[in-house]
Each structure stands twice: as C-alpha cells, then as structure tokens.
Structure 1
C-alpha cells in the first residue's frame, strides 16, 4: 500500500508541467535498478528488516506505476 502511494506521487507531481516526464522516469528506473542490484547481490542484506522493507516498497512502486499506466491508457 505504501509503495502504491509513492508510485502515485512519483508519477503525478513531476509531470504537472509536462517537462519532467523523461527525467523523472530515468531517475526512477536508475534508482530502482541500483536498489535491486545492491539488495540481490549481497546475501546478508536479504535477511535484515530494513532492506526487506525497502525492497517491498520498491516492488510496490513498480506495481503502482504499472497500474497508473493502465489507467492512463484506458
């Protein structure tokens, strides 16, 4: 639920002017890939609470952006 909330914020606030769509998408994808690499590369991070929480929020953001794309397409 928290990730979906963040996805809604990330997809609407920078796009209000229409100039930041490509830049905000690049930042979101780069951050997502960097977090994925650091979490899945280090086996010790998978067992801790905070990296698990960050990973779940990251997955929620991806899901939320996916749902927002469907809302915009219909």
Structure 2
C-alpha cells in the first residue's frame, strides 16, 4: 500500500489502540464491558420484542443466528492466543445468553 497521510494516520491509530490493550487489566475491563453490554442488549431487545408479541419468533431466530455465528467465528481456530476482538465478542455473547436466561426466569415466575 502507498504511504499516504491517511494510511499513515490510520496505521498509527491502530497501532496505538493495539498497544493500549496489551495491558491485561485493560483487556479484562474491555471484556467486562462486553459482557455487560451483551446483558443490557438481551434485556432491551427482549423487552422490545415482548411489547409486540408477533415478533417473538423472528427475534428468537435472529438471536440464534447471532449466537451460532459468533460461535463459528470464536471457535473456528483452536489457537490459545485469541485476538482481542474475539475475546470481546465471546464476552458479549456470554452476557447476551445470560441476559436472555434471566429474562426467561423472570417471565416464568
């Protein structure tokens, strides 16, 4: 690729971001934020789907596609050193599934 100003700027930003998240505590905090975001999304989306009862099956299909698609992406390679975006996506998926499970328990009781 040519070394244009935009290319140099974007490469520098990406390198700074990668270096920023090399710290294990920052990686952990980003994974916790991903987990909590997944939990929030599960609560919000299931509440929205619950208001219009005719969308339940459609939303359940999209939840299934998201979960299985992220499983394929995350567990495709058995590499123990997964990139940051894969671990964050995994935390988001776990928070999402946990949030849906708790919503189902609330509705069941």
TM-score (norm 2): 0.62
How far the C-alpha of 1:44 sits from its partner, in A, is: 5.0
- 1:13-72 per-position Cα deviation (integer Å, ceiling 9, x unaligned): 123111100000011011110110121012459521111101100110000000010001
User: Would you say the 8 A contact 1:39–1:45 is kept in 2?
Assistant: no
- If asked which structure has higher relative contact order (CA below 8 Å, sep 6+), I would say 1
Whose helix fraction is larger, Structure 1's or Structure 2's?
Answer: 1
* Larger Cα-atom Rg: 2
**1:72 equivalenced with 2:72 (yes/no):** no
Runs of 4 or more, structure 1, over 6 Å off, are none
The residue correspondences of 1:37-56 to structure 2 (distance < 5 A) are 37-43=72-78, 47-56=82-91
RMSD over equivalenced CA pairs, Å: 1.6
Unmatched runs of 5 consecutive residues or more in structure 2: 1-35
TM-score (norm 1): 0.88
Number of matched residues? 74
Unmatched runs of 5 consecutive residues or more in structure 1: none
